[in-house]
A = this chain, B = another copy of it.
Amino acid sequence: MGNNETYELQAKLFRGFSDDSRLAILEALREGPLAVGRIVEVTGLSQSNTSNHLRCLSACGLVEAEQRGRFVYYRLSDARIETMLRLADEVLADLGRRIFECANYRSSSEVDAACVTEQAQKKRRSRL
């Protein structure tokens, strides 16, 4: 345990979950299999964007596809996918808004306004 390849694998798994659009798709699939067109309706994503994300989720093993006529039905591939989503919900319930204000994944202008240290802000201000 703990070798680099394991971390790569894990990182790829988590990356499947680390996007708004994919989470919306996964959420839609929690209630059961859906055809792509229905996923497009439910999520509001474009058709090609949806298809791209589905390919990603599928390649990463989070969902499975089944073709029926012209339709392709997707479903969660494993019950533990749901477990992970639920667990994330629980953790978030505790962490609350902290994450939403996380500076590291926002534009630099937002960073200034968010959670950069006071020192850095002071310095930044004095440079202007």
Which residues of A are in contact with B by a Cβ distance under 8 Å? Answer: 2, 4-15, 17-21, 23-24, 27, 52, 55-56, 59-61, 77-78, 80-81, 83-85, 87-92, 94-95, 98-105, 115
CB pair B13–A59 under 8 Å, yes or no, is no
Partner of A92, one of B2, B10, B56, B90: B10
Closest B residue to A117 using CB positions = B55
> Which label, helix, strand, loop or mixed, suits the secondary structure of the A interface?
helix
* Distance to closest chain B CB from A60 (angstroms): 5
Closest B residue to A30 using CB positions = B2
* A46 to B89 alpha-carbon distance, docked (Å): 33
7 new A-B pairs (CB below 8 Å) besides A7-B27, A14-B88, A56-B105? A10-B23, A11-B19, A11-B20, A17-B18, A60-B102, A83-B87, A84-B88
CB pair A92–B13 under 8 Å, yes or no, is yes
* A87 to B89 alpha-carbon distance, docked (Å): 15
A8: chain B residues at CB < 8 Å are 20, 100
Using A11-B19, A17-B11, A27-B2 as known contacts, say yes or no to A91 and B102 having CB atoms under 8 A apart: no
Using A2-B27, A104-B56, A115-B59 as known contacts, say yes or no to A10 and B88 having CB atoms under 8 A apart: yes
16 A-B contact pairs sorted by A residue (CB < 8 Å): A7-B23, A10-B23, A10-B89, A12-B100, A12-B102, A13-B91, A14-B17, A59-B98, A59-B99, A59-B104, A59-B115, A60-B99, A61-B99, A78-B95, A83-B87, A87-B87
